[in-house]
Amino acid sequence: MTREKKRVLSCPSDFSFMVHPERIEWFCRDTLLKQKGYSLLLVAPYNETLREKNPEQFELFLSRCREIYDDVFLFPMRRGMKDIFSPIPLQAKKRSPRGKDMTSLQKWLAGYLGQIVGVLIEISFTFEVVKPLLKSFKEKHIPVLLRMENIERDFFWYHYKRVSLQQKLFDPHSWIQLMDVLKLSWYEPSVIKKVDGVFCLSTKDTEWCLKKRKDGVFFIPYWYQLPQTREQPLSVEEEQILQELEKKYHKNKILFLVNNFRDGYNTKEVRWFIEKVFPAIKQKVPESVFLFGGYEVTKYFCGKDLPEGVEMLVDIPSVKPYMKRADLIPLLTKAPVGVKIKLVEALFYHKNVVSFPEGVSCSGVESLLPVARTKEEWISSCLTILRGEKDCAQAWEKFDELYDHKKNIDFLERFFKE
């Protein structure tokens, strides 16, 4: 079999056309595989309602995918609550192709089976996409490999606990979410046992999976294609933003945070930092400023009511100029699941970090980073870094070793069919 005939079938949990491709892990991983000479196939469910509302974005993302994938098979997710009483989690069931979609998928795949060397599925829900095809894969000795981004049961439980008591009692979606938490308790371990290999995003997931199966579980951090150099060239607009930052804050120490505030995510922690922690930092280091912003920031914060030295950024066209200029990245999250993208970005740029334990946990570098729980610990850790008494150099070095995407892709290749 020639190198060009080796195909990899990629099955993400959804066709994420509302997100920039470079921020989607499966897209970045598949791009790396294409660069190594593999031919890529894509099978993905999509949200039909979102497609109807955003047809241009859908087509734009599809055109980007056609640059990477030789062929693409998309099908709509199931709508409604018909499968609510199925023992399979609703989020998994809605991703299962059926009827004409299943028949079309089998016919589409038939012409490629002899060339496929590996099937990559993203999160346990996506197992429903390939489950009807498992027999064909096994007959051809094609390995099915699972990417664990979270322990989905814990992820759903965390978000269920965040909703109000009123929502829990009267919102049917909360009841459905709770039902999926219970179903995931058996469903997720069963998927882990049925696949040929599991690649976990975090050390916590790795340990959990090894309790479900004795081997075939590996800790592989994000497959993002990190740039060759941290001195990334800036666009004209980004360079202009950086110059404005340099001019305005040339005497300042900048603490910078960008966050997706949708559904109030991390708002409690950010508000606590603004009200309880930063004023004490400002008192000890008068030149310090805290710049924060992100999606839906104006829904939860008012720029006029902020303490001295705190500035809200309503529009952040690119984080690169801010990251380049920042002196410290406070990771203000207590979400206990997954490895945080903000941590990856900060460590890649060799930026100093202070975090709640949850912000750095399971990343493989957590023991080398300053963590803080109380107000006093946050103030002390931030002051130590801002005064130049300590940095995160050891964590940067370990990050460069663990998050080497070339090494991690080489490791993945070992599990493909010869």
Assess whether pLDDT exceeds 90 at residue 316: no
Evaluate if residue 149 carries a pLDDT over 90.
Answer: no
Which of residues 174 and 199 earns the better pLDDT score? 199
CA-CA distance, 192 to 397, in Å (whole number)?
A: 32
CA distance 416 to 8: 9
The mean pLDDT of 203-226, rounded to a whole number, is 89
Place of tokens 């912003």: 293
Cβ neighbours of residue 340 under 8 Å, at least 6 residues apart? 331, 333, 359, 360, 363
pLDDT at 264 (0 to 100): 85
Q: Is the pLDDT of residue 405 over 90?
A: no
For residue 398, what pLDDT is reported?
Answer: 94
Asked whether 35 and 67 are in contact (CB, 8 A), the reply is no
Q: Domain residues of the chain, as ranges?
A: 3-225+403-413, 236-402
Q: Where does the pLDDT of residue 230 fall: very low under 50, low under 70, confident under 90, or very high at 90 and above?
A: low
Give the torsion through C-alpha atoms of 298, 302, 308, 312, to 10 deg: 10
Whether the domain at 3-225+403-413 and the domain at 236-402 fall into the same CATH topology: yes
Distance (Å, rounded) from C-alpha 208 to C-alpha 200? 10
The pLDDT of residue 1: 39
Interatomic CA distance for residues 118 and 331, integer angstroms:
37
Secondary structure, 3-state, 71-84: EEEEEECCCCCCCC
* Region of poorest pLDDT, from 75-89, 184-198, 404-418: 75-89
Rg (CA), the chain: 23
- The two tokens of residue 49 are 């309602």
Helices (H), 114-151: 127-130, 134-139
The residue among 384, 258, 418 whose CA lies nearest residue 333 is: 258
The lowest-confidence range among 185-199, 273-287, 331-345, 379-393 is: 331-345
| pLDDT for 140 beyond 80 | yes
Is it the case that residue 384 has pLDDT exceeding 80?
A: yes
Contacts of 275 (CB under 8 A, 6+ apart): 307
Mean per-residue pLDDT, 253-258: 96
DSSP code, position 256: E
pLDDT of residue 2: 42
Distance CA 94, CA 78 (A): 5
Tracing tokens 């479900």 back to the chain, one arrives at: 212
pLDDT of residue 332: 96
Average confidence score pLDDT of the chain: 90
Residues with Cβ within 8 Å of residue 230, at least 6 apart in sequence: 348, 349, 350
70 has pLDDT over 90: yes
pTM: 0.84
The shares of helix, strand and coil residues in the chain, as percent rounded to the nearest 5, are: 50, 15, 35
**Is 79 within 8 Å of 47 (Cβ atoms)?**
no
Strand stretches in 297-379, DSSP E: 310-313, 329-331, 353-355
Q: What is the pLDDT, as a whole number, of residue 295? A: 87
Mean pLDDT of 255-263: 90
What is the CA angle 182-152-332, rounded to 5? Answer: 120
pLDDT of residue 227: 58
| Interatomic CA distance for residues 398 and 344, integer angstroms | 12
3-225+403-413 classified as CATH 3.40.50.2000: yes
In this structure, of 88-102, 223-237, 309-323, the range with the lowest mean pLDDT score is: 223-237
Predicted confidence at residue 22, as pLDDT, reads 67
* Burial class of residue 72 in the structure, from the number of CB atoms within 10 Å of its CB (0-12 exposed, 13-18 middle, 19+ buried): middle
Which is it for strands 144-148 and 329-331: parallel, antiparallel or unpaired? unpaired
Q: Is 122 within 8 Å of 26 (Cβ atoms)? A: yes
Q: What is the pLDDT of residue 232?
A: 64
- What pLDDT sits at residue 240? 93
226: pLDDT strictly greater than 70: no
SS3 62: helix
Q: Which of these CATH numbers, 2.60.120.260, 3.20.20.370, 3.40.50.2000, 3.30.70.980, describes 236-402?
A: 3.40.50.2000
**E strands, 159-196, in order:** none
Asked if residue 305 has pLDDT above 90, the reply is no
Percent of the chain with pLDDT over 70: 96
Torsion from C-alpha of 150, 326, 372, 355, nearest 10 degrees: 0
- Which residue shows structure tokens 């429903």? 128
Q: How far apart are CA 339 and CA 366, in angstroms?
A: 11
Mean local confidence (pLDDT), 143-158: 89
Rounded Cα distance between 104 and 385, Å, is: 58
Q: What is the mean pLDDT of the segment spanning 403-410? A: 90
